[in-house]
């Protein structure tokens, strides 16, 4: 092994987030919304559905932001 291979760390989780981060974020937001609809149906309360919608939007925005941040960090700081 040469010296570059020994000192070139691998970050599999960062690469996973770059590849699947937006899809995972969309899945989590959709699952939260569907759970909110299910809870609203089971409890017969439409306010829970609105809360699920708001929470899923918040999850999507935060997850998308973190995914973009990880993409920026890997693009700028990790060697090609």
pLDDT at residue 79 in the model: 74
Residue 12 — pLDDT band, cuts 50, 70, 90?
confident
Per the model's pLDDT, the better-predicted residue between 29 and 11 turns out to be: 29
Residue 13 lies in a domain: no
Domain that holds residue 57: 20-74
pLDDT averaged over every residue in the chain: 89
CA distances from 55 to 29, 61, 68, 73 (A): 8, 10, 20, 27
Per the model's pLDDT, the better-predicted residue between 12 and 61 turns out to be: 61
Residue 78 — pLDDT band, cuts 50, 70, 90?
confident
- What's the predicted TM-score (pTM) here? 0.80
Residue 14 lies in a domain: no
- Our count of domains for the chain comes to 1
Asked if residue 36 lies in contact with residue 48, where contact means CB atoms within 8 angstroms, the answer is yes
């Amino acid at each position: 092994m040469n010296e570059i291979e020994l000192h070139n760390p691998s970050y599999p989780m960062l690469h996973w987030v770059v590849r699947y981060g937006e899809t995972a974020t969309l899945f989590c937001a959709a699952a939260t919304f569907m759970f909110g609809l299910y809870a609203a149906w089971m409890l017969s309360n439409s306010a829970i559905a609105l809360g699920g919608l708001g929470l899923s939007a918040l999850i999507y925005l935060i997850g998308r932001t973190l995914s973009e941040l990880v993409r920026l960090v890997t693009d700028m700081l990790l060697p090609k």
